[in-house]
Amino acid sequence: MGTLSAPAQAAEARDATAPSAAGAAASTAPPVVTPTPRSMKPAGRDIRVPANVRLALGDDVDASSIDVIRQALTAAGARHIDTGATGRAAPAPHPRGAKLTVVAGSVKDPAVADALHGAGGTIPGTLVAEGYSLASRGDTIVLAGNDGDGVYYAAQTLRQLVTGKHSVAAVSITDHPAMPLRGSIEGFYGAPWSHTDRLDQLAFYGDIKANTYIYTPKDDAYLREEWREPYPADKLADLRELIEQATAHHVDFTYALSPGLSVCYSDPGDVEALKEKLGSLYEQGARAFYVALDDISYTKWNCPADQEKYGAPGRGSAGQAQADLLNAVQHDFIDGHPDAAPLQFVPTEYSDTADSAYKSVLRERLDPKVVVQWTGTDVVPPSISVADAEAASTVWGRKVFLWDNYPVNDYGQTAGRLLMAPYDKREAGLHKALSGIVLNPMNQAAPSKVALFGGASFAWNDEDYDPVRTWRAAAAYLADGDAATTRALLAFFDTEHLAPTFGDTDWQPQAPGLAARLADFTAAWKSGSRIRRHAALRELGAYADVLSGAAEQIRAGVRDPAFLAQTKPWLDALDLWGGSLNATLDGLRARSDSGSGQAAFAEAADLAKRAAAVTTIPGTTRPQGKIKVADGVLDTFIEQAPTM
């Protein structure tokens, strides 16, 4: 399983945020590639990247893949990249003295396949969609995709294999995703993402090998209240820009229509209006479509005609009406467009695994091609096991598509919180029962990248997913590889680790790394040993310096302005809490040395009071509230320290 127990998680988190030489050691280790490839073997010494490189392109290489390859080679020190086509004949002499050839293209292209064999790579027996092979030997690197998506993902892996200014790791990789659908659904309530946020997210999804974005923001009236109405030209232009951005980054822009508040299932006009609306997005380039029938009442009809056709409202009759509507869309619209993906659908009963008249009718009558979403054993489940997903697949009669309500923060228990723990508590092997996973993110788009990074990695390779390893990789991604900024981000993430459910249960603990440090310190302090106390003060003091300097380091080292803007109140509060912890330790140090630390304790209390008063940015999140930073852990320690 790719999960950790609470004690192990605390130890991992503590190690992840340790102010040590870990960053320097990591630079000499083999590169971490995320998502974790299915097979990745070292192939000798790193490949030297000279100033001049030849790039030979075969079939199925689009402009986006070329851009990623060129960026990776440039990051590795290439200055001149001469591009040409592959061929069965021997390659031409290296131009401008180039001594490295990079070959990219479809593995079905004989020239690419030959180059792959020559570089020590292997072609898998089954060419799974989106898969790729990558090999490097001597003066050749080969990126061979099972299809165009695979070439792009091979390029994304090459980007992560850069080990120095003039080197790329020599490896042999064969890889493909475990789940065909991986990404996010913009399905939260409250402040929606901006158009700029969405464009940025779509580019990010390409980097992490996510391929799905479901567009269903709650503020788009043309999805819900006015679902029958065509989009005005300006809004349609924005959607087209999103679709083009998604396509460029190998992401399916999935348009989700929510007609359930007013649809008359038995009215041919409404059915036709739904198909016409989807058709208007098809004309803009969308090829993936979704009908949302969640968060509606199915104990009443929207029109008398439905009562006449389906009988009294209820679970079974609602299932019949919805099956008819969805089958009409699949048969009359999707099947008529061969390049369209199968219809996706979130049902009114979207959580749990209990059978019902509603599920029974849909299981029996719904076209098997239609993809059904499921949120787990609850709306916000504390964990998801293979057995849970298999039960859901049985009750729906097909593999289910997980809508995972993490890290969404639009409900009462999340007030004042960012949810930045690793993606966790999802069992290895879920690909056997799931067709995919999309995460429902936060109102804050950029901080959501931490969880989305993990969700995409898990959906790609759930059998070899390590939540903390991927958490660290997400921090390094946001830090652009800078060790000090990565360490500061991990310390920040730890203070925003708590993940609640709809009830009283928290499925991720708050600040496990910090909590473990404070527990160690408290034990040493209570031992009464002067030597142990001073050693504990030094150790915790070093981490307090990381916390108190984290906000400044993040603001200096993270290049994403949206991340800095959207986390601002949390960074402001962290700055104050870090200062309060330092003042608390000054008080304990003074009391240990001279018997009096009241001035420092008073300063700590004042800083803590100011930190606790910081609030969310109005209009940017739901619900609004006081900012929470390591609550129940850091505030408790600071309050109790004067009496220790």
CA distance 240 to 231: 11
CA distance 425 to 77: 40
Look at strands 371-374 and 212-215 and give their pairing.
unpaired
Q: 3-state SS string over 54-67? A: EEEECCCCCHHHHH
Whether 47 and 142 have beta carbons less than 8 Å apart is answered as no
Q: And the tokens for 535? A: 């050693």
My answer on whether omega of the bond before 381 falls inside 30° of 0, hence cis, is no
> Cα torsion at 129, 130, 136, 142 (round to 10°)?
90
CA distance 482 to 207: 18
3 by DSSP, 3-state: which? coil
Q: And the tokens for 641? A: 């320290």
My answer on whether omega of the bond before 35 falls inside 30° of 0, hence cis, is yes
The amino acid at 600: A
Whether 371 and 344 have beta carbons less than 8 Å apart is answered as yes
Name the helix (H) or strand (E) containing 102.
Answer: strand 101-106
CA distance 426 to 428: 7
Whether 176 and 40 have beta carbons less than 8 Å apart is answered as no
User: Which member of 238, 295, 367, 545 is catalytic?
Assistant: 295
197 is catalytic: no
Q: What's the CA angle centered on 631, arms 480 and 194, to 5 degrees?
A: 50
| 223: CB partners within 8 A, 6+ apart | 216, 217, 256, 257, 258
My answer on whether omega of the bond before 37 falls inside 30° of 0, hence cis, is no
Whether 83 and 104 have beta carbons less than 8 Å apart is answered as no
**DSSP state string for 306-362:** HHHHH-S-SHHHHHHHHHHHHHHHIIIIITTSTTSPPPEEE-SS-S-----HHHHHH
* CB contact burial 267-299 (16+ within 10 A = b; e otherwise): eeebbebbbebbebbbebebbbbbbbbbebebe
Determine whether 618 is exposed, middle or buried from the number of CB atoms within 10 Å of its CB (0-12, 13-18, 19+).
exposed
Residue 397 falls in which region: left (phi positive, over 0), alpha (psi -120 to 50) or beta: left
For residue 339, the tally of other CB atoms under 10 A from its CB is 6
372 by DSSP, 3-state: which? strand
Helix 449-460 × helix 467-478 angle, to 10°? 130
Look at strands 499-500 and 506-508 and give their pairing.
antiparallel
- Please identify every residue annotated as catalytic: 295
